[in-house]
Structure formats: C-alpha cells, structure tokens
Amino acid sequence: MTVDRIPLAGVIGSPVAHSRSPRLFSHWLRKMGLQGHYIPMDIAADKLESVLRTLPDLGFVGCNVTIPYKERVMEIADHVSDRAVQIGAANTLVFREDGTIHADNTDGYGFVENLRQNAPDWDPTGGPATVFGAGGAARAILASLLDVGVPEIRLTNRSRDRAEQLREDFGDRITVHDWVQAGNIVEGCTTVVNTTSLGMTGKPELRVPLDALEPGMLVTDIVYTPLQTRLLRVAQDQGCATVDGLGMLLHQAVPGFERWFGERPEVDDATRAAVLR
Ligand code: NAP
C-alpha cells in the first residue's frame, strides 16, 4: 500500500523571520481541514539553486519567494511565465512532477483582487491612475493596472530615471512626472497608489501634498505596517474610498495555495485577523 505524501510548501528568502506567510498558510490549512505544512526557509545565496533542486525530493510542491531572491529564481527556473518576465521578478514557484520548476508572479493579481474585493465600485477604466514609486512592487502594479484597462498611468518617483525605465518597459500609457509634482498629478485621477516604502513603520512619512484628493477617487497604499498610513487617513478625511495594503499580501498567496494544496482559499475577515494576530 502506498501512502500519499503530505504536501509541503514554504517561503524562501533572507531574512524570512518577519514573513507573515506561514501564519496565513497555516490558517487556511487549518480552516479548510487540509493536510500540509508551510515553512519559512532562510537560505544563503550560494545555496539557493541546490536547495531549490532538493526541495521536491523532500516532498515540497512549491514555494513563495521573497527578498532578495525574486529575480535570481527566474534564472534557476525551467519555465518562467510571461507575466513574471514582464515584471522581472517571480514570487511563486511550482515544482512539477517531471522535476521542472515553474516561476510566476502573483503580486499584480493580489493588488487588483484586493481592490475588487474592498472597493467593488472601483472602475479602473474610468480615468487615469497616479502611481507613487518605481521600485520592484511598482512593476507588478503597473502591469496589473494596464491589464485591467487603466487608460493612463501618471508615474512619479524620487529617482526619475527608474520611472523613465518603467515607461520604456511598459509603454506609452505611462507618463513620467517629477517627484516634486507628485501632489499635482493626482488631479482628475480615479486611482491613486503608493508603492514607495514611505509611511512604513521605521521609514519617513510620505510627505506629498494631498489637497487634490477628492471624493470619487480610490486611494490605496501597498504599505501594510501600519495598516492605516497617513495617505489613507488624509484620503479618507477628504472623502475618497480607501483600501489598505494587507489584502494585496493575502490575495497574492491564493494562486500558490490552490496549486499546492488543491483548494482555493477565501480571503475574509478571519484571514486578516489570523495574519494580524
Ligand atoms: P523597492 O524596490 O526598494 O522600492 C522602494 C521605492 O520607495 C522606490 O520607488 C524608492 O524610490 C521609494 N523610496 C524609498 N525611500 C524614499 C524616500 N526617502 N523618498 C522618496 N522615495 C523613496 O521596494 P518594493 O519591493 O517596491 O516595496 C515597496 C513597499 O511596498 C515596501 O514597503 C514593501 O513592504 C511594500 N510591499 C507591499 C506588498 C503587499 O503585498 N502589500 C507587496 C510588495 C511590497 P527611489 O527609486 O528613488 O529609491
């Protein structure tokens, strides 16, 4: 008699002790009554490839990838999705039974699903979007905003050359603006997104002037520590719809969980509570 192996998954990075993913996955496994384990793995850079090639033998069906390996794993994977290629980073790996490693990026999916769930009236096609920041997360967000039909994305970043690079990579629907203009370009936008690390606990505040925020706009921050950033506070006071960044983290994990453990988990209040605990 053969006994099925209990599927294993986890998150690879360095450091990973801060990751909330183990809490998230354990919550879903418990709630859905599924067999499986999800483990944080702090791996040294020179061991990354050999670890990834060994994990399937240990019973791993895949893993998430976090800083600093989101780019490196694309060189190691045997197949990289078009989406991950476009973004230039992967956060989800699937280990196939034939021994191959498939890499994908679900950050943009998580970003859009979070907005769809928490701002059901949001119409991304209804007007331009402003995006603050042009780092790693911004790439996934630009790709997803373009995908859902945003007509124009006004992009601004402290280092303008990084924003110019994104315009080159993502095309003419992106317009680049000086960082000093950040407060002005939100005028007439239906969507405003902070993708910088400003406002995060331990970092400086996002000090962009926010007087132009007005009702009818959806404002979201991908920073989720704290949940309520200054941007979201001011936006709420000025009558905008707001969505915090925790939902992006939760939704980006859904495709991996479903693939590895066989059932699609729900993102609900209990999920948020489990991760915040
Ligand atoms: P990153 O690649 O390091 O990019 C950082 C961004 O912040 C760049 O645009 C950078 O501008 C800007 N920035 C940093 N310090 C600044 C300052 N003092 N003044 C102006 N701009 C500044 O980081 P990332 O991976 O994109 O992550 C950004 C944030 O998103 C982090 O807080 C991260 O935790 C969060 N995040 C959340 C989720 C989620 O699921 N909710 C997912 C991914 C990331 P320069 O180019 O000028 O340096």
**Which residue segment(s) compose the domain that 26 sits in?**
8-106+253-276
Look-up of token digits 């992106």: 174
Cα(180) to centroid(ligand 1), Å: 17
- pLDDT value of position 173: 98
Atom of ligand 1 nearest to the CA of 137: 26
Same-domain check for residues 119 and 221: yes
Which two structure tokens, joined as six digits, stand for 274? Answer: 């489990």
Percent of the chain past pLDDT 70, that is, above it, reads: 99
What is this structure's pTM? 0.96
Residue identifier of the C-alpha nearest atom 43 of ligand 1: 137
Look up 70 and say whether it is catalytic. yes
Q: Residue 200's domain is classified under what CATH number? A: 3.40.50.720
User: What is the tens place of the pLDDT at every residue in 102-124?
Assistant: 999 999 999 999 999 999 999 99
Residue 2 belongs to a domain: no
Tell me, yes or no, whether 51 lies in a domain: yes
CA distance 39 to 260: 13
**Residue 41: φ, ψ to 5°:** -130, 110
Is 66 part of any known ligand binding site?
yes
pLDDT digits (tens, 9 = 90+) for 202-211: 999 999 999 9
**Measured from the CA of 222, which atom of ligand 1 is nearest?**
41
Question: Are 229 and 138 in the same domain?
Answer: yes
In a domain, 78, yes or no: yes
- Give the ligand 1 atom nearest the CA of 199: 32
CA of 50 to the centre of ligand 1 (A): 30
Exactly one of 31, 47, 70, 203 is catalytic; which is it?
70
Domain count across the chain: 2
Where residue 195 falls among pLDDT bands split at 50, 70, 90? Answer: very high
- How far away, in angstroms, is 262 Cα from ligand 1 center? 33
State whether 136 and 209 are in the same domain: yes
Q: Are 94 and 17 in the same domain?
A: yes
CATH number at residue 81: 3.40.50.10860
Same domain, yes or no: 129 and 68: no
Ligand 1: lining residues by beta carbon, under 6 Å: 107, 133-138, 157-159, 162, 195-198, 200, 204, 222-224, 245, 248-249, 252
Any domain includes 165: yes
